[in-house]
Structure 1
Amino acid sequence: MKSLLGAACKNPKHAVPGLTGRWRPPWPTVAWFSTTPVSHRSKKSSKSRSRSVQLFDPRTLRTGMQRDQDDSLSKDLPRRPDHVVKRHYRNFHDFTLNHFGKLVKSLGAFPHNQEEWRSFGVNSQLQLDHEISLFKSTLTKAFDLAIEAGKTSRAENRTFWSLRNAFIRSDAAGLLRELKYTFQTFLMRSRFPKAVNELHMAISDLRFPYEWYPATRMMQRTIHLHVGPTNSGKTYNALKALENARTGVYAGPLRLLAHETFSRFLAKRRPCALITGEELRIPADSDTWFHSCTVEMTPLNTRVDVAVIDEIQMINSDDRGWAWTQAFLGVQAKEVHLCGEERVVPLIQGLCARIGEKCIVHRYERLNPLSVMDESLKGKFKNLRKGDAVVAFSRVNIHQIKKGIEEKTGRRCAVVYGSLPPETRASQAALFNDPDNDYDFLVASDAIGMGLNLEIKRVIFDASYKFDGVGIRQLTIPEIRQIGGRAGRFRTAAQEAKGDTTAAPSAGLVTAMEDEDLEPIREAFTKNPPPITTAGLFPPSTVIERFHSLFPPRTPTSFVLARLRELSRLSPRFHMCDFTDAMEIAEIIKPYELSVADRCVFLSAPVVLRDPRQVMALEAFAKCVAQLGSGNLLDFAEIDLEVLDEPTPAHPSQQTQHLHRLESLHHTITLYLWLSYRYQGVFQSQALAFKVKEMVETKISEHLEQLTFVPDVQRHRRQRMRRLAAMTEEKERNLLGPEDEELPPHHEEQVGVFEGDEELFEGEVDEVEGEGMEEGEGVEEGEGMEEGEGVEEGGGAEEVEVESEVEVESEVEQRKGKKSEGLAEASKE
């Protein structure tokens, strides 16, 4: 590799150690908590108390608090004794105070982090110590309110409610994130007078996202909503309308679909541009062309005749729903064709009525029958039939199953998944679709559920659960229906080529590899998924920049985002998408002198934050932009190019590590390409990056081809993952309580104080005023910027290594938390 690229690269550094990871104490653990059911202490005795202690596992605490909450919300389950609930809350109080101590240590003393402390109004170590003491007292009051008065709701005791739910949802890492924001808000309380709060509220008013696209609102669009089950022809009809137009846009959820539509238009000799996060192909011999893109990259400043937005039901996604909302509200097309499920109709009709646009609903019925089989394959590949597709949820598992099928049946097996190069995927699909060769079977990821053109007779689920990047969970009803619905074809390609319109459509069948997974699949086809009532929303970069300008200089962007999330006012038709990744990226790039505009670009970068190598690469890229340095690919020692020179290890455990390094390098190169389109004058090695990306994909394919299939290992893996999925489902059940507890976080009369906690702060703000605090230095003027484009979808969960899923699940929160606190110390060093 050194001879090919002309430079030697260093091995990746170790991840910066952090303090916010999942707490896993060595056994026996330190004695932290009391379990003696004594009457709760008074305010005076709460500061100094003597309590008996015993060994305590925080996982037990979290489970106990979850059950306390479930019992209080359920009418069927008996309530737990009050002394048990109070004991859990006391233990949680001590646990929270201990982790607050870790948080303060990670933030650093005043002399070592003066600029950041001053941005929060702290001007001396003495004042910082006093604020820490006051905050601890405030936490204790909030817990006293929960224990003595039983006030635990969001309206009555916001601080306790937020900390408890962060802990239940994300363990110690989530608790530390919430503690950090709560403490920073506490420090800023004197800097949020009424006038400033009013400005904050005005900018964070996101109830009218339609107004973000004034040019589109000046048009009179017609919305065509194509809804129906899979294999009903809805996308086919929408694409027909696009083909008959002079100019148009196709926006899909996957790079695979964008490439498929791109190839379709080229085959019809229609000029077409391909726009994804890592690739941009513009026709050189035409003045006008069609656009085929991922939904995040939908061009909003180009007027076209027809726009097709596929899989519109994903507008409800907590992660990517904002991209569908942005595309739907902002695309400048005379006709907008939306394709999706029936359950999205009321939402789209309501949005169209709100913006005054005509909505025409086209409903479709499935063109061929579909049924769930009574029996599974019993885990035996000999029960496979020609035309079967086995659906797995990781790249490693896909290739292991492929190897097992070919060994047991003696027939060839094609593979299709998200990260395959487009040409390879097209050739694999063609081999499977051709009835005259010996490629009888297909192993694919859940990407086939998004409408890839495959002639599948029977869909077989390898499992009814998946690793979604955070944990193991059961497949949802819509996911099972989307994937299973790909079974059966109305008319095969061979029949269409012969012009045979009389052949009866082939029926589709759905089953599973094992009986344990068949029942949830059968249930999914008998239940109706819940209706979609809200569209995802994420503040555009213009809003973030304006909001940021109202804070003192050097205020961390992560705090600004947390404050914006907290104050945002939304219409009942919208919900706020997840801020977690954006806030973590903001913490990672905090040490570098970037403009607010540049920070907004990096917030949507396609980086896998649980991978330390990618985090280091992100830091290096941010530093390069900040210093206007050389963006030559070979100049970044953080890019692990040496892995391309290393042969595949012989030992299985080393093979897994080797594959992780290759996948990490692939994601890092993708990130480099993504940035090269946004900073063309900095990251100039685009051609070399494409070459390296191709080499990495070749190495990964060679590695996966060498995998072996061991039936017992696969069976035990399914059992283990099934248990983890059940545990995840139980933990998430009734997590946030009844709907009436989900109050809007924007009561104007409470802004600037913890909503529901006003009585905890009485007499405390005046106590710290005049104690070395200076007047604010004013606000930063926001720099002009264009609205940033969204993050490119990275291929889905099929790219996660299955054999390491259990390890990843136990490390995800640890790695997630390592950045915000650990990097604070690293930046000082």
Structure 2
Amino acid sequence: MQSWTGRGSRFLFCALRSFTRPTKRQFTTSDPLYRSKRNAKHDGAGSDQKRISKAASKTQPKTTRRLLAAERDFTRLTEAALRDVKFKYEATGELPAAWSQFERQVLNACHVTESKTTAKWGTLQDLKKSLQRAYLSTGVSGLRDELEYLLYAEDLTKTYSAPSLEAQQKLADLRYPAEWYPNARSMQRSIHLHVGPTNSGKTYHALQRLKSSKSGFYAGPLRLLAQEVYHRFKDDGIPTSLVTGDDVKAPEDGQPPRITSNTVEMVSVGQEYDVGVIDEIQMISNAQRGWAWTRAVLGTQAKELHLCGETRAVPLIRELCALTGDTLEIHRYERLNGLEVMQKSLKGNLNNLQKGDCVVAFSRVGIHALKADIEKTTGRRAAIVYGSLPAEIRTQQANLFNDPHNEYDFLVASDAIGMGLNLSCKRIIFETLIKRLPGGLQQLTVPEIKQIGGRAGRYRPAGAKEGSEDDEPNVGLVTSLEEVDLPYIQQAMEMEPPPLRAAGLLPPNSVFEKFAAYYPKTVPFEYLIRRVIEISTIHPLFFLCDIKGQLENAEIVDSTHGLTILDQLTFVAAPMDHKSASALNTPAAFADCVAENSRGRLLDIPHLNLEILEQPVSGNKDYLHELENLHKAIILYSWLSFRFGGVFTDRTLASHVKELVEERMVRALTEFSANKTLRKDASLKRQIALQKQIHAQQSIASEGLSHPSGEGEMMWYGLGEEKSQETTADGTPEAGIEGSPEEEIDTDSDLTDEGFQESVEREDLELEEKDHTQ
């Protein structure tokens, strides 16, 4: 068997979802990028959706000639990648004996079509999809990496998996997740589902019930929300604790906490509560983090469990309650104030802004450019809120905007405001509908537009008391900065997103511990993760979440010798940064500390660039990049200090360093500036790049790539396609794969800079450099 190590690319594995679709799983939709053909066949959606589908079929007809051309394109790409991999092995004299058979199997997979339904063809279809996902994720380099992994994994599977396949499949049987939590199943729980549009008071009523309970918890999707509830209850004199991935706060007077405010990943399933509140329940179908909501819903021992979210979650929660035997009561809410979409945009003129307006943008540079433009054009101040800002600064900025008696008339924000941040906005104005994610550019989904737009006309500002003058309803207005985006917003606000169909799931840690016993310790942990996902079977009510972050972290695990299986599971769930090779040096150093059981003193870790704190504050992008890397490294150190307290002992010092970094980040970011012409140029280039990206993806991908949950569906206006919603992630309460690092790094999906198309990234950097020269 040939040796195999990490290939030095930014992403070790690129086929990041399950590779074998469970045989009993019935999907009702295909992947969001490739849905127009099937939309033309089915009329089950509403009239709006049918109209969009017909328009889509006209704008992007998928003819037989085009499909054949796409197949030839992908085959040529795969053949070239195979030649590269073969040359690499021949250069080292390690070409496997089974290369010819492997090459023939890959080429056969490239030609297989969706119409082939036998077991033999199904295996080739799965192989083709994994290669397509690899290419769509990171291009040709990702395709080469995937081929190299598949060649190596084939030997491992034949040697260690095939002889005990039946036993391993039993371990990977995930069809009955409700039985993973016997204590919760022994209780007769009462589930209260609070559903309604944004600004309907659903979370407020659930929190009022929590406040009157003897013991309880709140679980939110973001640390900002957990901190907001923590401070609200604490200010009311209720003993409250805060538990997030990298921060734990107990009541100051030493009393036992009556209420615990958590991020959803941190909710305890081993403690009994009278009342529990789980916010944003629709995220149970999120492709990355849905497993955390599923775990909280199925596993928490709360006599009374309140779930708050969108109406589209009702059918799925009904199914889950039928599965668990819990009683369900549905509370429906109507919006407390009116919401209208304006008939005109601002025509790109910032002079048309009014006091109380919130302008939404989707990049760090873009947000600061807008702030500078607004203040220069109007002569009035603008507050600023986005995910990478420290929670304390976001809250302070929100309070400045909410206060009608100061000079902060406007707010410039990311889609961080779409999830629970309490703001008093008269109008929501979309600067653009395109944001960047690790996979490239993406247009906002219908649920995202409705949720962000729904923040207009907040019924009660943050800090307002019940019965105050702020209780007077007002009509919220939604529009766009540029005229081109307004028709899309109008259409989206009128549409009803489809109901959620499945809940996210990940195997519990015990599965990986037992699974590892069938393999020698030298087998890469990435292979174990992927093999478990590959052979797992699941109930039709669930789907396997994307394990991209865990696979990336596993590269660090495999490069460190001496970690136990529990150590490996912990690091796989840790909030690591994968933007650059240099950023990976720090988590590798942390892993070495654990493997060697040495003291992880903060000042003794060489890869931490603490010297950056001694440099003058600058708006230079390299300076900002170093600050961001240090901030993420400190977050990771704090996160690990709660899992390996005997190794990472400088938690207090790390907290102080984090504050220093955040202070310098805010000061540095405020030095960015841009003029209106450059900002418009950047917006236009994003639109062009998005269209190019979609066409490139359409020419490669097959229709079989699907996301089963139905979460975050969106039409691609004028292109006839749909796209899945992405979001950030949070930490994990226990060592294991059930974790996803991004939210712990405190970056929202709109501000994640990795994985951009190189050409687009280069254009934006050029714009930034022009900004500094003007």
- C-alpha change, 1:19 and 1:571, in structure 2 (3 Å) is closer
CA contact 2:433–2:443 (8 Å) conserved in 1: yes
User: Structure 2 counterpart of 1:238, which letter?
Assistant: A
Aligned partner of 1:91 in structure 2 is 76
Q: Secondary structure at the match of 1:669?
A: helix
CA contact 2:129–2:705 (8 Å) conserved in 1: no
Q: Secondary structure at the match of 2:558?
A: coil
- C-alpha change, 1:805 and 1:385, in structure 2 (3 Å) is farther
- C-alpha change, 1:451 and 1:154, in structure 2 (3 Å) is same
Aligned partner of 1:544 in structure 2 is 512
CA contact 1:224–1:362 (8 Å) conserved in 2: yes
User: Could you report, residue by residue, the CA deviation over 1:332-357 in whole angstroms, capped at 9, with x for unpaired residues?
Assistant: 11111111111111111001101111
Aligned partner of 1:250 in structure 2 is 218
- C-alpha change, 1:184 and 1:712, in structure 2 (3 Å) is same
1:279 Cα offset (Å) = 0.8
Within the candidate set 537, 541, 551, 1:573 is matched to 541
Q: How far apart are the structure 1 equivalents of 2:444 and 2:34?
A: 27
Q: Secondary structure at the match of 2:435?
A: strand
Q: Secondary structure at the match of 2:140?
A: helix
Within the candidate set 685, 692, 696, 2:657 is matched to 692
User: Structure 2 counterpart of 1:274, which letter?
Assistant: L
Q: Does 1:481 find its partner at 2:430?
A: no
User: Structure 2 counterpart of 1:220, which letter?
Assistant: Q
Aligned partner of 2:97 in structure 1 is 130
Q: Does 1:438 find its partner at 2:410?
A: no
CA contact 1:208–1:571 (8 Å) conserved in 2: yes
Q: How far apart are the structure 1 equivalents of 2:576 and 2:403?
A: 38
Q: How far apart are the structure 1 equivalents of 2:615 and 2:244?
A: 31
TM-score by length of 1: 0.77
Q: Secondary structure at the match of 1:525?
A: helix
User: Could you report, residue by residue, the CA deviation over 1:724-748 in whole angstroms, capped at 9, with x for unpaired residues?
Assistant: 23334445569865569999xxxxx
Within the candidate set 584, 588, 592, 2:556 is matched to 588
Q: Does 1:239 find its partner at 2:188?
A: no
Within the candidate set 630, 633, 637, 1:668 is matched to 633
Aligned partner of 2:188 in structure 1 is 220
- C-alpha change, 1:351 and 1:801, in structure 2 (3 Å) is closer
Aligned partner of 1:188 in structure 2 is 156
Aligned partner of 2:765 in structure 1 is none
Q: Does 1:77 find its partner at 2:62?
A: yes
Q: Secondary structure at the match of 1:275?
A: strand
Q: How far apart are the structure 2 equivalents of 1:150 and 1:316?
A: 28
Unaligned runs of 5+ in 2: 1-5, 15-31, 42-60, 709-733, 763-774
Aligned partner of 1:376 in structure 2 is 345
In percent, how many aligned pairs have the same letter? 40
Q: How far apart are the structure 2 equivalents of 1:387 and 1:711?
A: 21
Aligned partner of 1:4 in structure 2 is none
User: Structure 1 counterpart of 2:102, which letter?
Assistant: F
- C-alpha change, 1:249 and 1:92, in structure 2 (3 Å) is same
Q: Does 1:645 find its partner at 2:614?
A: yes
Q: How far apart are the structure 1 equivalents of 2:208 and 2:373?
A: 41
CA contact 2:129–2:704 (8 Å) conserved in 1: no
- C-alpha change, 1:506 and 1:688, in structure 2 (3 Å) is same
User: Structure 2 counterpart of 1:462, which letter?
Assistant: E
Within the candidate set 297, 305, 311, 1:342 is matched to 311
Q: How far apart are the structure 2 equivalents of 1:804 and 1:132?
A: 31
- C-alpha change, 1:85 and 1:372, in structure 2 (3 Å) is closer
Aligned partner of 2:268 in structure 1 is 299
Aligned partner of 1:310 in structure 2 is 279
- C-alpha change, 1:95 and 1:371, in structure 2 (3 Å) is same
Q: Secondary structure at the match of 2:174?
A: coil
- C-alpha change, 1:481 and 1:68, in structure 2 (3 Å) is closer
Q: How far apart are the structure 2 equivalents of 1:276 and 1:359?
A: 29
Q: How far apart are the structure 2 equivalents of 1:456 and 1:379?
A: 20
- Report 1:315-714 matches (<5 A): 315-491=284-460, 496=465, 499-500=468-469, 504-592=472-560, 593-648=562-617, 655-714=620-679
Q: Secondary structure at the match of 1:708?
A: coil
Q: Secondary structure at the match of 1:377?
A: coil
1:160 Cα offset (Å) = 3.8
- C-alpha change, 1:547 and 1:218, in structure 2 (3 Å) is same
Q: How far apart are the structure 2 equivalents of 1:206 and 1:196?
A: 18
Aligned partner of 1:790 in structure 2 is 739
- C-alpha change, 1:296 and 1:740, in structure 2 (3 Å) is closer
User: Structure 2 counterpart of 1:476, which letter?
Assistant: T
Tell me whether 730-739 or 198-207 shows the greater mean CA deviation: 730-739
Aligned partner of 1:35 in structure 2 is none
Q: Secondary structure at the match of 1:130?
A: coil
User: Could you report, residue by residue, the CA deviation over 1:589-644 in whole angstroms, capped at 9, with x for unpaired residues?
Assistant: 21222111110001111122123333111111111111112201111111121222
Aligned partner of 2:197 in structure 1 is 229
User: Could you report, residue by residue, the CA deviation over 1:455-507 in whole angstroms, capped at 9, with x for unpaired residues?
Assistant: 11111111101112331110011011111100003345797476459x74100
- Report 1:170-189 matches (<5 A): 170-189=138-157
TM-score by length of 2: 0.82
User: Structure 2 counterpart of 1:94, which letter?
Assistant: E
Q: How far apart are the structure 2 equivalents of 1:370 and 1:710?
A: 32
Aligned partner of 1:29 in structure 2 is none
Q: Secondary structure at the match of 1:607?
A: coil
Q: How far apart are the structure 2 equivalents of 1:221 and 1:615?
A: 44
User: Structure 1 counterpart of 2:434, which letter?
Assistant: Y
User: Structure 2 counterpart of 1:509, which letter?
Assistant: L
Within the candidate set 677, 681, 688, 1:716 is matched to 681
Q: How far apart are the structure 1 equivalents of 2:84 and 2:11?
A: 8
Tell me whether 686-695 or 75-84 shows the greater mean CA deviation: 75-84
User: Structure 2 counterpart of 1:203, which letter?
Assistant: L
Tell me whether 618-627 or 193-202 shows the greater mean CA deviation: 193-202
1:102 Cα offset (Å) = 6.2
CA contact 1:414–1:429 (8 Å) conserved in 2: yes
- C-alpha change, 1:203 and 1:475, in structure 2 (3 Å) is same
Q: How far apart are the structure 2 equivalents of 1:476 and 1:611?
A: 29
1:216 Cα offset (Å) = 1.4
User: Structure 2 counterpart of 1:467, which letter?
Assistant: R
- C-alpha change, 1:86 and 1:616, in structure 2 (3 Å) is closer
- C-alpha change, 1:418 and 1:353, in structure 2 (3 Å) is same
User: Structure 2 counterpart of 1:586, which letter?
Assistant: A
User: Structure 1 counterpart of 2:83, which letter?
Assistant: N
User: Structure 2 counterpart of 1:79, which letter?
Assistant: T
1:228 Cα offset (Å) = 0.6
Aligned partner of 1:770 in structure 2 is none
Q: Secondary structure at the match of 1:606?
A: coil
Q: How far apart are the structure 2 equivalents of 1:223 and 1:736?
A: 41
Q: How far apart are the structure 2 equivalents of 1:381 and 1:639?
A: 42
User: Please, what is the CA RMSD of the aligned residues?
Assistant: 3.5
CA contact 2:357–2:428 (8 Å) conserved in 1: yes
Q: Secondary structure at the match of 1:589?
A: helix
CA contact 2:643–2:735 (8 Å) conserved in 1: no
CA contact 2:502–2:543 (8 Å) conserved in 1: yes
Number of residue pairs the alignment of both structures matches? 692
Q: How far apart are the structure 1 equivalents of 2:68 and 2:465?
A: 72
1:683 Cα offset (Å) = 0.5
1:195 Cα offset (Å) = 5.3
Q: How far apart are the structure 1 equivalents of 2:699 and 2:124?
A: 19
CA contact 2:269–2:299 (8 Å) conserved in 1: yes
Q: Secondary structure at the match of 1:682?
A: coil
Q: Secondary structure at the match of 1:230?
A: coil
Q: How far apart are the structure 2 equivalents of 1:428 and 1:648?
A: 21
Q: How far apart are the structure 2 equivalents of 1:382 and 1:741?
A: 44
1:315 Cα offset (Å) = 0.9
- C-alpha change, 1:553 and 1:589, in structure 2 (3 Å) is closer
CA contact 1:614–1:667 (8 Å) conserved in 2: no
Q: Secondary structure at the match of 1:334?
A: strand
